[in-house]
Amino acid sequence: MSKMSELDLCIGELRSATQSLTAVADSLATLFDKNGDAKSEVNAPQSESKVKPKSVTLEQVRAVLAEKSRSGHTADVRDLLQKHGASKLSEIDPAKFEALLGEASTIGLREGEDG
């Protein structure tokens, strides 16, 4: 894989991680106010509707899975797809892409590899 492709892949993974962290931060902010007191349920839906994370695309997931496969983790990629009820990526529900991408990013790191 070329250096630009690797960089592009890393940027995509960083954006996905940023979106996830932003969603967590927004969720925590809706639960607690500045004093650490729990907010009322009335305010929560307003905060949630302000920032909606961008959805993960098929191309982003495909790029990560392809890189993991080229790195010698084809069996892990296949197992991950089967875990999500599919034999190929195109059979996966797009609503599951974010979770799939998160799990895929850990492939190769499980054994302490650099990924």
When pLDDT is cut at 50, 70 and 90, the band that residue 102 belongs to is confident
What pLDDT, in 10s, does the model give residues 64-74? Answer: 899 999 999 99
- Quote the DSSP letter at residue 40: P
Q: Which two structure tokens, joined as six digits, stand for 34?
A: 């500045």
- Whether 61 has a pLDDT exceeding 60, the answer reads yes
Q: Are 101 and 58 a contacting pair, CB within 8 Å? A: no
Q: What is the overall mean pLDDT for the chain?
A: 77
CA atoms within 13 A on the CB side of 110: 9
